[in-house]
Amino acid sequence: MTAAARDRWADWLLERRHGGDAETLERTLRHLAPVRDRVLDNAALRDGDVLLDVGCGDGLIAFGALDRVGDSGRVVFSDISDDLLARCRLLAGEAGVLDRCDFGRARAEDLTGIADDSVDAVTTRSVVIYASYADKQRAFDEFFRVLRPDGRLSMFEPINRFAFPEPEGRLFGFDVTPMMPLVRKVRAVFDQATGEKTLIDFDERDLVRFAERAGFAEIALHYEATVTRGGGPTCGASWSWEAFLHSAGNPHAPTLAEALDEALTPSEREELLGYLRPHFEAGDATHRGAVAYLRAVKR
């Protein structure tokens, strides 16, 4: 399927997240491997379990779970993207595991196709962040509903409120104070494209509240915040300049190149890039990031 034919979720995950650069994609997946493993560890899967992976994307966690649930277990791939579900189905067929997989289109806040008390574990990674604040609570309510007694919820969420919005003189972690008239124009494009601020309308304390209100009896959250000076604009993966220009931070956002083209004249674009590129190549950014791992048990 061509990029033009894919929905925005599939297009971002398969192309725009890493700027279409194969090496950057490989580094990103290496960075995500321990996240996957930690989410699965917290799910405490056993042979014969049924796992529901909500917002499965291209199957990072769901495929990783297959060995853990064994030949008698099942993994349910759930996502709002038909294109990503089709890709997961294709990959499952190629891997010879299709007989242990189910696929269903659903939003995290509306898992109508999943019966009450029908799964042993629910996993998510960077999924609730895209729901509105009210729908975040509904998603937790749904996770609780579909879990069997003693079922486990295991999730990972970025806590973007820790780092965003960036201070006035920063863009992607770089000091852009001398370029602020141009940077303000570029920021306006990002702000307009992002729309509602679901990415920063919650923090780690809200995740605990959502889980408690949903009815979970045992809740544990691990919060990790980092500030890294003297690095690149992202954490955990090295990026080429071209990948940086042509990647998007989330499915709703433009790439930096797209924002520059929309906001600036050609001469302004070259001026800002001429300032930014040496700082990028020198690794002059300060990266700030925070994440939360939550585990909850239904009693």
Q: Which residues of the chain have pLDDT under 50?
A: none
What's residue 289's pLDDT?
93
Separation CA 156–CA 144 (nearest Å): 16
What's residue 197's pLDDT?
80
209 neighbors 141 (Cβ within 8 angstroms): no
Domain CATH for 135: 3.40.50.150
Domain of residue 20: give its range: 3-297
What's residue 3's pLDDT?
55
Q: CA-based Rg of the chain, rounded to a whole angstrom?
A: 20
Integer CA distances (angstroms), 288 to 33, 166, 201, 228, 256, in order: 21, 10, 17, 6, 19
Structural domain tally of the chain? 1
The 3-state secondary structure of 13-71, one letter per residue: HHCHHHCCCHHHHHHHHHHHHHHHHHHHHHHCCCCCCEEEEECCCCCHHHHHHHHHHCC
pLDDT in tens, 245-297: 999 999 999 999 999 999 999 999 999 999 999 999 998 899 999 999 999 99
What's residue 276's pLDDT?
95
296 neighbors 152 (Cβ within 8 angstroms): yes
184 neighbors 166 (Cβ within 8 angstroms): no
What's residue 239's pLDDT?
83
